[in-house]
A and B are shown apart, each in its own frame.
Chain A
């Protein structure tokens, strides 16, 4: 591959078991900064369907990771990002689009109170299905894992999504689908290994 970089990216190292101290200090019991970044995604009344995402990260022994930290990044209901790099319009000012959730230290469950994102176009003009970018770090993970969360009740949009249709092993696609549990709750469990191993992306 022809790389035009002149410097090497800093090598990644594991977040280790004490990531909370730096990234969610209030959760770790350190009253700092007036609150944890990424703990609140909705800062006022938001446009779109409000949803709750829940999940657990499992290792190859089917044990829940209790020291994982998950971050998500997504568009608003209109498909716009609340970002300095968004040039297509102004996103919902009451929706940050970014969430950070440390797994519960007893159960391993992570939770995000967010909204269902709108569709975002792909550079070739196709429309992407509603999805959320997901990044997972934990003790034992040398390089943060990137994946995407899609929705199991968006079958039509999913059927033409540029990423989902790019995946050769179709039987693995369901690992990227959050399952609707009703009442606006979706479950997105992440399996690091095993027959249900989540698709991770080099993106």
Chain B
């Protein structure tokens, strides 16, 4: 491909894999999707750098949603679970020191938010937000309660599958990503228009966490495994070689 531009450090986002901006069954996307094509441009310093999030900003309960909003001696109501996994990049390398933030509804499907009107009650001991920094091997862990499904006004009777929202900040602003995790076996997954923005079953599977009995804590909490993948950097050596062939 002829171009007077240098190659960027990060691989371009795979737009054939990522959802399109316009997905009409998800109604809010109709007026909020850009109509002109995106302009492709290689990443450079501003996209290949990211702020420093030192481990020291993290409190001991930041990744424990069962306790981090609870009164002393109390805890959130709902099925107790551990959500854990690794943050990797597209080349398969772990991403250490990534900021992982999550938010979710409580066990009844109710968010703690002033714009939320669902009749399910708030849990006074559950806030619904957590954060952590990935370890050297890219691993992270949250302790929380299973969020409930909830109705949303996309149609007359539309329900979100149980899900946890994740925000990821790796080593480059180009890697910035927000996504959602679903739970294996949830019959609402194939009915949801937001899930429906995904282009393939493989993409749905990538966001569906399986039960992980190995990490389950007996008599305490089940576990779900959710690995997340951020954009990877070009491997210059191989790129140059293949160009020379």
Contacts and interface: CB of A to CB of B under 8 A. Distances in A.
B42 A144 contact: no
Interface residues of B, number: 96
B35 A197 contact: yes
Interface stretch (B73-81, B212-220, B230-238): B230-238
Q: Is the interface of B mostly helix, strand, loop or mixed?
A: loop
Q: Is the interface of A mostly helix, strand, loop or mixed?
A: loop
Contacts of A13: 19, 165, 178-180, 194-195, 197-198, 207
A201 B229 contact: no
A17 B206 CA distance: 23
B91 A28 contact: no
Contact of B11 (A3, A11, A15, A122): A3
B36 to A, nearest CB: 6
Contacts of A135: 173, 176
Contacts of A138: 32
A182 B88 CA distance: 45
Contact of A9 (B5, B28, B229): B229
Interface in A1-42: 1-23, 25, 28-30, 32-34, 37
B41 A166 contact: yes
Contacts of B125: none
B31 A193 contact: yes
A85 B50 contact: yes
Contacts of A108: none
Nearest to A135: B176
Contacts of A18: 103, 111, 113, 115-116, 165
B23 A21 contact: no
Nearest to B20: A142
A193 B99 CA distance: 31
Contacts of B103: 18-19, 21-23
B44 interface: yes
B224 to A, nearest CB: 15
23 contacts: A3-B11, A6-B90, A8-B90, A8-B206, A10-B168, A11-B179, A21-B113, A22-B103, A22-B130, A23-B167, A32-B68, A37-B57, A71-B176, A73-B50, A73-B173, A82-B52, A83-B51, A133-B47, A140-B28, A142-B29, A163-B41, A197-B35, A202-B12
Interface of B: 5-6, 8, 11-15, 17-21, 23, 26, 28-36, 38-53, 57, 59, 62, 68-69, 88-92, 97, 99, 101-103, 111-116, 127-131, 165, 167-168, 171-174, 176-180, 194-195, 197-198, 202-203, 206-207, 228-232, 234-235, 238-239, 242
Interface of A: 1-23, 25, 28-30, 32-34, 37, 59-61, 63, 65, 67, 71, 73-75, 81-86, 96-98, 105, 120-124, 128, 131, 133, 135, 137-146, 162-163, 166-167, 172, 192-193, 197-203
